[in-house]
A and B are shown apart, each in its own frame.
Chain A
Amino acid sequence: MKPAPVLKPGEITRERVEAFSAARHEDAAMLARRLEALRVLKDTPPPNRWDETWRRVDLGALKMDALLAAIPTDGGMARSTLTAGALPPGVVFGAFADVARQQPALLDRYFMTEQVKLSDGWLAALHGVFVDSGAVLFVPAGVSVEEPVRVQTVLDGAARAGFNHTLIVLEKGARATFIEEFRSEGPAGSDPALVNNAVEIRVGEGAQLDYVNIQDWGRNVWNFTTERAHTHAHSTLHWVMGGIGARFTKSAIEADLLGEHGVALLSGVYFADQRQQFHYDTQQNHVAAHCKSDLLYKSALRDDARTVWRGNIRVFPGAQKTDGYQANRNLQLSARSRADSIPGLEIEADDVRCTHGATVGQIEAEPVFYLRSRGIPEREARRLVVEGFFAPVIERIPLAETRDRLIEEIGRKIALD
C-alpha cells in the first residue's frame, strides 16, 4: 500500500510558471531554472508519513492544494530589504532577483548546485519553481566585510506566499556577518499563507561567517525551510536561529563539515505559544576529520504549543578526531504544551568524541521566590527566569538591535495572559 502523502502536491502547470517568470521580466536562464525545478518537482513524491521526520507532524489543517493555487503570479509575495555599510570591491550583496539578472554566472555556479539541491526533496524543488525574494552575498577571497549586512523580509498581513532564497558564499579567508529577519506587517489576513524558504551557505577555506536568522511571521503562516551550510577547511560558521512567529514551522537545518579543522556552532532560541507548532530537524555531518560542531537549541513553550527537535550528528568513515556536541533544553511553561526532544548519533569512525543532552523542565520555584524576595513581582520574576534561560544564546547574536528585539518578543510572549 502506498502511504498517504503528508502534503498534497496540487497541480502546477508549465504555463503558470512561464507567466510567473514573465511577470518578473526574467531572462531565459531564470525561466529555465524554474522549469527544471518544475520537472524535478513532478518526479518527486511529496513527504509521507513513512518519512521519519514527518511522522510527528500534524498538518491536518494545512490545505496545500489551496495554498499552492493561491501563490500569486504577480506581486503579493514577501519582499526583502537589504542594508549594509560600505562594501569592499568585489563584494556582491544584492536582492536575489537583481543578482539573477546582473550576475547570472554567480547563480549558475552557486544557486541550488552545492548546498540545497532540487533533488533534496519536494519542498526544495517547489522552492526552485517559485523562488522570489531574498538576497545573495558573495565575498571574494581574503576580503572582510566589517559591518553586518542585513536583510529584512516582510510579508504583508494579507499576502499568501513567500519563497525566499538566501545565498551566502564566502571564498577563501573571507569574513562577514549576515543577519536576516522575517516578519509579517499589518493586520494578518484570515487566509493562510505558505512560506517555503531556502538558505544556502558556503564558508570557504579559512573563512568566518556569523549568520543570524530570526523568524517572526504572522500567525497565518505555514513556514517550511530547507537550510544547509558547508564549511571548508579551517573555516568557522556561527549560526544563530530564532523562532518566534508563524502558525507552523518545519525547518531542516544542516551543517556539513567538509574540510578538516572546520568549526560549526549552531545556536537556537524558540518560544512557542497558543497552538504554535515548531519542528526543527538539525543535522551535523562530519565528513572531514578534526572538525568541531556544537549545537545548543533552547526552547520555551506555553499554552497548547508543541515543539519537536530532532537532532543528529553523523560522523562519516574517516572523520577521525571529530568533536561533536548537541543539546536541546526545553522550558515547559504550561502542562498542556508538549516538547519532544530526540537526539541521535550515527558514528562510523572510531576515534571521535560525540555527546548529546536533552532536557524538558519547568520553571523552578526557588529562583522565582528568590527574585520575589527582592521586591520583584511574580510575573516579572518569571519573565526574568525565562529571559535568563535564553540569555546565553541570545548573547551570541552580534547585533544589539536584533538581540533587543528578540528579548522584547520573548518578554511579550511571557506576558500573554
Chain B
Amino acid sequence: MTEKWFEIRDLHVQLESGREILKGLNLSIGAGEIHAIMGPNGSGKSTLAYTLMGHPGYVVTGGEVLFKGQNILELEPDERNRAGVFLAFQYPVAIPGVTVANFLRTALNARIKAEAAAQNGGITPSTVKGMPIPEFRKRLREAMAVLKVDDSFAGRYLNDGFSGGEKKRAEILQMAMLKPELAVLDETDSGLDIDALRIVSEGVMTLHERNPQMGVLVITHYQRLLNYIKPQFVHVLIDGRIVESGGPGLALELETRGYDWLREPEAGQ
C-alpha cells in the first residue's frame, strides 16, 4: 500500500476534563482531493479541526496524523501551518489593534524567515527582511478581488467588529495569501447568507483551480455548502468515529435521511 499524502490514523482525543471526543478516527486524503466530513452536533467535527491545528485545549491520547510522511501532532501550531496546513475557523477570533494587512504581512514574513532559517542551520540570516511591501500589496489586492472585499478591509482590525460574512471572507482571504497545501474548512457556511456563501465557496474553488494539488477537507453539518464546494469523497462522523464513507451521493442521502440510520443500533435490537 502506498503511503497516503495525508492520513489520520486511529486518532483519540479528549478534552481537558478527560471526556473522550474522538475515539479512533481514521481518514486519508490524497493530494488535490476534496473531502467532506459531515456529522451531527457533538459528533467531534470541531474537535477534529482544532486538534489538527494543535489547539492546547484538546489532548491527543493516541494515534497520529501524517502529512507527507511527518507526524504533525509533534509540531507546534505555527509549525503545522508553515508545513502547509490551514484551518478556516468556524469562529475566527478578533485581534483588536492589528490590521488585516499588518497581520498578513507578519504571517507571510514568518514563513519567509522560517524557510531561510531552515536553510541556515536554524538561524534566520539578518539579510532576510521579508516580502517587499509593493509585492505584498499587489498580492493582497489580487486576493481581495477574488473574495470581493473592499480595499478598506486591509486597514481594519482583524475580525474586530466584522459581520459573520466578513469573518468568513477574511478566513478565505488568509487562505488565498498563505497558499496552504491542505485547507481544512470548519463549518465555513455557518452564519452566511446565500450570497456570502457563494462568494466564499467560489473563492475556495478558485484557489483549488489555481493550485490543483491543494487538498481540501470540508467539515460541515449541512449539505448546502457542498453544492458549491463539490467533494469527491464524503465521510460521516458520529460519536468520534468515521462510520460511513462514500461519494458525493452520500451527502444527498444524509440530507434526506438524516443521520439516525447510521448510528450504532441500540443494544438488544
Q: Chain A interface (Cβ within 8 Å of chain B)?
A: 365-367, 369-378, 380-381, 384-385, 387-392
B106 within 8 A of A: yes
A373/B95 in contact, CB under 8 A:
no
Do A371 and B95 touch (CB < 8 A)? yes
The stretch of B8-16, B76-84, B214-222, B255-263 in contact with A is B76-84
Interface contact B103-A371, CB-CB below 8 Å: yes
Interface contact A367-B107, CB-CB below 8 Å: no
| A372 close to B106 (CB less than 8 A) | no
Nearest A residue to B159 via CB reads: A370
Known: A388-B96, A388-B97. A375 touches B111 (CB 8 A): yes
Q: B110-128: which residues lie under 8 A (CB-CB) from chain A?
A: 110-111, 114
Contact check, B98 vs A384: say whether CB atoms are below 8 A apart.
Answer: yes
Q: Are A372 and B81 in contact (CB under 8 A)?
A: yes
Nearest Cβ in chain A — how far from B112, in angstroms?
10
Measured in the bound complex, the distance between the Cα atoms of B98 and A376 in whole Å is 13
Q: Which chain B residue has the least Cβ–Cβ distance from A388?
A: B97
Residues of B within 8 A of A388 (CB): 95-98, 157
Contact between B157 and A372 (Cβ–Cβ < 8 Å)? no
- A372 and B77 form a contact (CB under 8 A): yes
Which residues of B from 81 to 106 have beta carbons under 8 Å from A? 81-82, 87, 89, 92-98, 102-103, 106
User: In the complex, are the beta carbons of B81 and A370 less than 8 A apart?
Assistant: no
Please tell me if the beta carbons of A391 and B78 are within 8 angstroms of each other in the complex.
no
Return chain B residues, CB-CB under 8 Å to A366.
Answer: 93
A-B interface, 4 closest residue pairs, ranked by CB to CB distance from nearest: A388-B97, A391-B97, A388-B98, A375-B81
Q: For residue A373, give the distance in angstroms from its CB to the closest CB of chain B.
A: 5
Apart from the given pairs A373-B78, A388-B96, 18 other A-B contacts in the complex at a CB distance below 8 Å: A367-B93, A372-B54, A372-B77, A373-B77, A373-B80, A374-B78, A374-B81, A374-B107, A375-B111, A376-B107, A376-B110, A380-B110, A384-B106, A385-B98, A391-B96, A391-B97, A392-B96, A392-B97
Q: Does B178 contact A (CB under 8 A)?
A: yes
Q: Are B78 and A367 in contact (CB under 8 A)?
A: no
Residues of A contacting B62 in the complex (Cβ-Cβ under 8 angstroms): none
Residues of A contacting B55 in the complex (Cβ-Cβ under 8 angstroms) = 369
Q: What's the least CB distance linking A259 to chain B, in Å? A: 34
Alpha-carbon gap, A79 to B87, bound state (A): 54
A377 touches B106 (CB 8 A): no
- Cβ contact within 8 Å between A374 and B97: no
Contact B78 A375 (CB under 8 A): yes
Q: Are B97 and A390 in contact (CB under 8 A)?
A: yes
Given the complex, which residues of A lie within 8 Å of B110, measured CB to CB? 375-377, 380
A374 touches B174 (CB 8 A): yes
Q: Are the CB atoms of B98 and A374 closer together than 8 Å?
A: no
Q: 9 A-B residue contacts at CB 8 Å? A: A367-B95, A374-B78, A375-B82, A375-B114, A375-B178, A376-B107, A384-B95, A388-B95, A389-B97
Q: With a 10 A CB-CB cut-off, give which of A366, A372, A374, A378 has the most chain B CB atoms.
A: A374
B212 within 8 A of A: no
Q: B53 an interface residue at 8 Å Cβ cutoff?
A: yes
Q: Is B247 an interface residue (CB 8 A)?
A: no
Of A372, A373, A388, most B-chain CB atoms within 10 Å: A373
Contact indicator per residue, chain B 185-196, by CB within 8 Å of chain A (1) or not (0): 000000000000
Q: How far is the CA of A392 from the CA of B95 in the complex (A)?
A: 12
Query: B246 within 8 Å of A by Cβ?
Result: no
- Min CB distance B123 to A, Å, is 14
B97→A387 contact, CB < 8 A: yes
Interface centre among B82, B94, B106, B157 (most CB of A within 10 A): B106
Query: B56 near A: Cβ within 8 Å?
Result: yes
- Set of chain A residues within 8 Å of B80, measured between Cβ atoms: 373
Residue of A375, A378, A385, A390 touching B95 (CB-CB under 8 A): A385
Are A378 and B78 neighbours in the complex by a CB distance under 8 Å? Answer: yes
Q: State which of A365, A374, A391, A392 has its C-beta within 8 Å of the C-beta of B56.
A: A365
State which of B77, B107, B178 has its C-beta within 8 Å of the C-beta of A369: B77
Contacts of A390 on B, CB cut-off 8 Å? 97
* Contact A376 B78, beta carbon cutoff 8 Å: yes
Which residues of chain B come closer than 8 Å to A391, judged between CB atoms? 96-98, 157
| Residues of chain A lying within 8 A (CB to CB) of residue B77 | 369, 372-373
**In chain A, what residue has the closest Cβ to B80?**
A373
| Nearest CB in chain A to that of B55: its residue | A369
A387 to B111, CA, bound (A): 20
Report the Cα distance A390→B157, complex, angstroms.
13
B140-199 residues at the A interface, CB under 8 angstroms: 157, 174, 178
B237-256 CB mask vs A (1 if < 8 Å, else 0) is: 00000000000000000000
Q: How far is the CA of A149 from the CA of B103 in the complex (A)?
A: 33
What's the nearest-Cβ distance from chain B to residue A384, in Å?
A: 5
* Chain B residues with CB below 8 A from A371, complex form: 95, 103, 107
Q: How distant is the Cα of A327 from the Cα of B157 in the complex, in angstroms?
A: 21
In the complex, the chain B residue whose C-beta lies closest to that of A364 is B93
CB distance from B190 to the nearest CB of A (A): 17
Cross-chain contact B95 with A370 (CB below 8 angstroms): yes
Are B81 and A373 in contact, with the CB atoms below 8 A? yes
Name which residue of chain A comes closest to B97, CB basis: A388
A residues less than 8 Å from B178 (CB atoms): 374-375
- Bound CA–CA A370/B92 (angstroms): 8
For A367, the chain B residues whose CB sits under 8 A away are 93-95
